[in-house]
Chain A
Amino acid sequence: MRVSTADLSSGSLFPAAIRATSPHRVLGRFAAVVCIVLAGCGDNPPPALGGDPDNGRLLLRQFGCGSCHRIPGVAAARGNVGPSLEGVATRVYLGGVLPNTPENMVRWIRNPKQFDPETAMPDLPIAEGQARDIVAYLQGLK
């Protein structure tokens, strides 16, 4: 047992950010459950963070992401420098270090070195809105 009883009873172990269930997560789960229940339903959940997935796909090409990653649906994205992004929406960690939420994916895409100083993934000049569009596309890759 590595956790002291005092720590546990204080209720202070969990930072507020972890306690709170984000509305996106609840909505996303609800949508996922509805989709499973209505097997074969054609409607996808709304894009993550309100980004534009079509523009995201365009940006993935513009920023040359495909020269390092294999990305389903993006022309000529066949790189094998970093991992394949096939099914990246269901992956648990980003860069092997960061829990995979849409918000964290925006941060990782904009400043990977902030989370892993050694990473080979470069900090590219990607604006917040652009990153949201990219994330909207990538979160569709189940």
Chain B
Amino acid sequence: MKRLLFALSALAATVAVAAAVVIYGGLYDISATDQHLAPTYRILDVAMRRSIARRAANIVVPPLDAPPMLDRGLALYDAHCVQCHGAPGVAPEPFALGLTPAPANLAHTARAWPPADIYWVVRNGIKMTGMPAWQLRLSDADLWAVVAFVEKLPELSPRDYDGLTGALGPARTEEMPVRNRPDPERGKTAMQQYACVTCHRIPGLVGPHAPVGPPLDGIGSRTYIAGVLRNEPDNMIRWLRSPQDVNAASAMPNLGVGEQDARDIAAYLATLD
């Protein structure tokens, strides 16, 4: 018994020293480009979902279909949400693409989450993500109006959304220099930074893997890109940089992907057989 206690104390001391070395030694990489390990991501994701479900369990959802409510929700979405979450065919702003975790695609969230949970998140925000709490800035009626509009997102095609807001503008044109040969590893980081995992399942990357678009397993050997273009490197680069030039109705937004980034991403995708 004494021996067991000694062994346990020694183990606890070792763990504490190791933790101190990692923390005070600055070994943990806090950068937004360093994706979580898959188990870490899973634990954080499950903890978040369980926490929200528990706290939203007793929320009573009001009727969400009144047209004035939807109009109000659209106006609020356009003012406060689209910048980070995007919308059908509309990309998030560049600053939101650099966030870790990447803001969720809400058309998927609306399908996968109950409205009470969405309301709770809009009201209270989520710690250690970019999601703010809106309860001090929006009235309760407005919070529900936002939820009402989010619930409609999965029924809106990119054209529908454009009809409501006129949001589909010309592509952003800021250009970064092309320096290197295509680098698949850099492409993998770039895919995380362009928030690709918020809409696609992508082998090698952690994230919500939300099924907004098709999974990219096997994309390297797929015959067509987006069902339209022959899958060749130049076409992939063209598609990644300007989906609407290939298919004006596409829900894949123009994310402002630079030429070098597109080349690197295409190189990574080509490895996914």
Contacts and interface: CB of A to CB of B under 8 A. Distances in A.
B213 A81 contact: no
A63 interface: no
Nearest to A36: B114
A7 B164 CA distance: 9
Contacts of A100: 154
Bin chain A's interface residue count: 35 or more
A83 B214 CA distance: 6
Contacts of B160: 18
Contacts of A2: 78, 165-167
Interface stretch (B123-131, B177-185, B223-231): B223-231
A101 B246 CA distance: 24
Nearest to B75: A8
Interface in B56-77: 65, 67-68, 70-72, 74-75
A1 B158 CA distance: 18
B215 interface: yes
Interface in A1-42: 1-3, 7-11, 13-14, 18-21, 33
Interface stretch (A45-53, A54-62, A116-124, A132-140): A116-124
Contacts of B108: 92
B203 interface: no
Contact of A1 (B79, B154, B226): B79
Contacts of B34: none
A93 B251 contact: yes
Nearest to A87: B211
Interface string B113-133: 010000000000000000000
Nearest to B214: A83
A100 B159 CA distance: 15
The interface centre, meaning the residue of A19, A91, A93 with most chain B CB atoms within 10 A of its CB, is: A93
Interface of A: 1-3, 7-11, 13-14, 18-21, 33, 68, 70, 80-84, 86-87, 90-93, 95-101, 115-116, 118-121
Given A20-B65, A92-B107, A96-B226, 4 more contacts: A2-B165, A3-B166, A83-B215, A91-B214
Interface of B: 65, 67-68, 70-72, 74-75, 78-79, 105, 107-108, 111-112, 114, 152, 154-158, 160, 164-167, 199, 210-215, 217-218, 221-224, 226-228, 246-247, 249-252
30 contacts: A2-B165, A2-B167, A3-B75, A3-B164, A3-B165, A3-B166, A7-B71, A19-B70, A70-B218, A80-B218, A80-B221, A80-B222, A81-B223, A81-B224, A82-B223, A83-B227, A84-B214, A90-B112, A91-B213, A92-B111, A92-B154, A93-B212, A96-B214, A97-B158, A99-B154, A99-B157, A118-B228, A118-B247, A120-B227, A121-B227
